Amino acid sequence: MTDLTALADEYYAYAMSLSPLDLMWDGRLEHLAEWNDVSVEGRAAAHERLMAFARAAEAIDVGADLQALALRDSVASHARSSALHLGWEPELLHLNPTMGAWENVLSFIDAFPLRSAEHGEDYLTKLRHLPRFLDDLMDVAEDAAAEGRVALERHLLDTARSAEGYLRDAHAGDDRLLAQAPPSEVDDAAAAAWVAERDRVVAEVVHPGVARFADRLRSLADRGLPDSTPGLVHLAGGAAVYRDRMWSHLQLDVTPEEVHRLGLDTVARLEDEYRQIAGPLLGTTDITEIYARLRDDESLRYTRAEDVIRDAEAALARAEEAAPAWFARLPRSRCVGHATDFGAMAYYSAPVPETGKEGDFFFKTSDPHAWATYELEAIAYHEAVPGHHLQCALHAEDESLHRVQREFGSTAYGEGWGLYTERLADEMGLYTSDLSRVGMLSADSLRACRLVVDTGIHAVGWSRDQAIDYCLAHSPLDRHHVEQEVDRYIGLPGQALAYMVGRLEILAIRAEAERRPGFDIRAFHDAVLGYGAVPLATLRRLVLG
């Protein structure tokens, strides 16, 4: 395994350097002073190097060694996925108002556990270079637009409005980019000097750069695509790029047509469950009326942030208490709930044992009414326990795994596990009412609709309105939530497919395992979580032999 370990070490170091933007999610201190190289030349070089890593890993014979199999396939699949993901990323994903680079900055700019004076200087360098990164991003986007490849007009304008809103808040005394605490190991005088320099850099360097970013976005929006043609299929070469993006997230050889049909079938099966579970609660089995009642009943909406926080923390506590009966191994790291005003409705950031950072479960409370009361529990179980926290924290803490397996992800494995645990939570008795179980169905509806809508947009050629209308007709999600979701799929093609595809594959592996004598659910979960974020095809072999 020596050659494989050396290759994995080399790959880990290289991959960590590729996307400092992604490292912000977990407050990583590696490459702290840097930003992504989004240039055409930089991405072409990265693609070549990543594919070389993938081929080198695939050429290694690991025999019957399951640990070596897991590591080899993790390196090969992650390298190939990362290479396939690079195409068209700056001009589409990075400018998306829901999942883009600017939203990432706002969400995580204060998440770094700075300790030393060197950390502090690296962070200040990061701030000084933020305008240059935004300029580089716009240079690439403007060149791509000249070739006919550009984001939606509305997405460019929405990102511009977000940048302008940040500047308005900053000038009113609420500057998000001043939230990072100084290094913890420096003395008071050095900390005060660091804060003064941070404030100066943000005011004199970052603010003008963000204003320029907003202006260039508005100018580019004049060439932005209309809502009628949001998909990759409408761009020259886009169909092939979409197939690459699908593989990069699923790591399975499936066609858009197969995934589209799977989505239609899954939506139909869910409607029967709504009739069985929600029907008695709402006094109707008419699926359209069930969706309308769940969507429009104001009594099923939160009105206070305090109530969202209370219920999210209570769900997390219940799950932590029940977990030992279903998992033989539990992480040492805590999962800490945080209310936030930024980013998606809910998301998770993994622990970093080297820095002492715990696992963080974020839930957005700036608009409590955006939350349906019945949906919060399922989302908490997905993002925290028994979902991403058990998965990511166990990996992060397992020193027997290579860092590639501990820290890098397979989207279908990771999000498939998260969605699997929403149903597992029902087996565990975690839902506090049948209405909360309806929230489990609502979450399933979202993921099933994604199969139809993502492929509909990027392979069939649906308009933005067609995608929104389909989700509204086949789920209880409200229009605002649906529009945010659809805008995410437009900017991040293929990623949304991973949740349901991954969950169904994990369930299929479990079903086969259950047919064998002596099946034990705790041992099964240990096996699924025991090798890191491996591709699903590899997971099947690791669990079932």
Question: Which token pair is 391?
Answer: 């998965």
Q: What is the average per-residue pLDDT within 374-394?
A: 97
Does 473 score more than 90 pLDDT? yes
Does 26 score more than 90 pLDDT? no
Domain boundaries, the chain: 2-239, 248-489+522-544
Q: What is the average per-residue pLDDT within 163-185?
A: 97
Contact 440, 423 (CB under 8 A): yes
Question: Which token pair is 340?
Answer: 């936030």
Q: What is the average per-residue pLDDT within 18-47?
A: 95
Contact 12, 404 (CB under 8 A): yes
56 alpha-carbon distance from chain centroid = 28
SS3 340: strand
Does 215 score more than 90 pLDDT? yes
Q: Tell me which residue of 534, 248, 511, 537 sits closest to 391, measured CA to CA.
A: 534
What average pLDDT is seen over the chain? Answer: 96
Q: Tell me which residue of 240, 97, 90 sits closest to 162, measured CA to CA.
A: 97
Structure-token match 């900017």, residue found: 491
| Chain length of the chain | 545
Question: Which token pair is 231?
Answer: 């998909």
Residue-wise pLDDT tens digits, 98-151: 889 999 999 999 989 999 999 999 999 999 999 999 999 999 999 999 999 999
Residue-wise pLDDT tens digits, 309-320: 999 999 999 999
What Cα–Cα distance (Å) separates residue 172 from each residue in 25, 82, 175, 211, 437? Answer: 27, 40, 8, 15, 43
User: What is the band of 409 on the pLDDT scale with cuts at 50, 70, 90?
Assistant: confident
Q: By 3-state DSSP, what share of the chain in percent is helix, strand and coil, each rounded to 5?
A: 70, 5, 30
pLDDT confidence of residue 458: 98
Q: What is the average per-residue pLDDT within 393-397?
A: 96
Does 355 score more than 80 pLDDT? yes
Contact 502, 110 (CB under 8 A): no
pLDDT confidence of residue 98: 84
Percentage of the chain modeled with pLDDT above 70: 100
Judged by average pLDDT, the poorest of 25-34, 50-59, 437-446, 461-470 is 25-34
d(CA 154, CA 160): 10
Q: What is the average per-residue pLDDT within 418-437?
A: 98
Element (H, E) at 411: helix 411-427
Write the single-letter amino acid at 352. Answer: V
Q: Tell me which residue of 153, 141, 134 sits closest to 221, measured CA to CA.
A: 153
Alpha helices in 59-100 (DSSP H): 66-85, 89-92
Q: What is the average per-residue pLDDT within 407-432?
A: 96
d(CA 458, CA 446): 18
CA dihedral over 307, 313, 319, 322, signed as positive or negative:
negative
Write the single-letter amino acid at 180. Answer: Q
Contact 438, 281 (CB under 8 A): yes
User: What is the band of 361 on the pLDDT scale with cuts at 50, 70, 90?
Assistant: very high
User: What is the band of 345 on the pLDDT scale with cuts at 50, 70, 90?
Assistant: confident
d(CA 73, CA 60): 10
Q: Tell me which residue of 96, 100, 118, 120 sits closest to 108, measured CA to CA.
A: 100
d(CA 483, CA 464): 9
Cis-peptide, bond into residue 517, ω within 30° of zero: no
Q: What is the average per-residue pLDDT within 245-271?
A: 97
Strands 346-349 and 335-340, sheet pairing: unpaired
Strands 359-364 and 335-340, sheet pairing: parallel
| Three-class SS of 227-247 | CCCCCHHHCCCHHHHHHHHHH
Question: Which token pair is 466?
Answer: 């067609």
Does 359 score more than 70 pLDDT? yes
pLDDT confidence of residue 1: 62
pLDDT confidence of residue 111: 86
pLDDT confidence of residue 25: 86
d(CA 410, CA 449): 21
Q: Tell me which residue of 2, 120, 5, 26 sits closest to 401, measured CA to CA.
A: 5
d(CA 68, CA 248): 22
Judged by average pLDDT, the poorest of 90-94, 283-287, 341-345 is 341-345
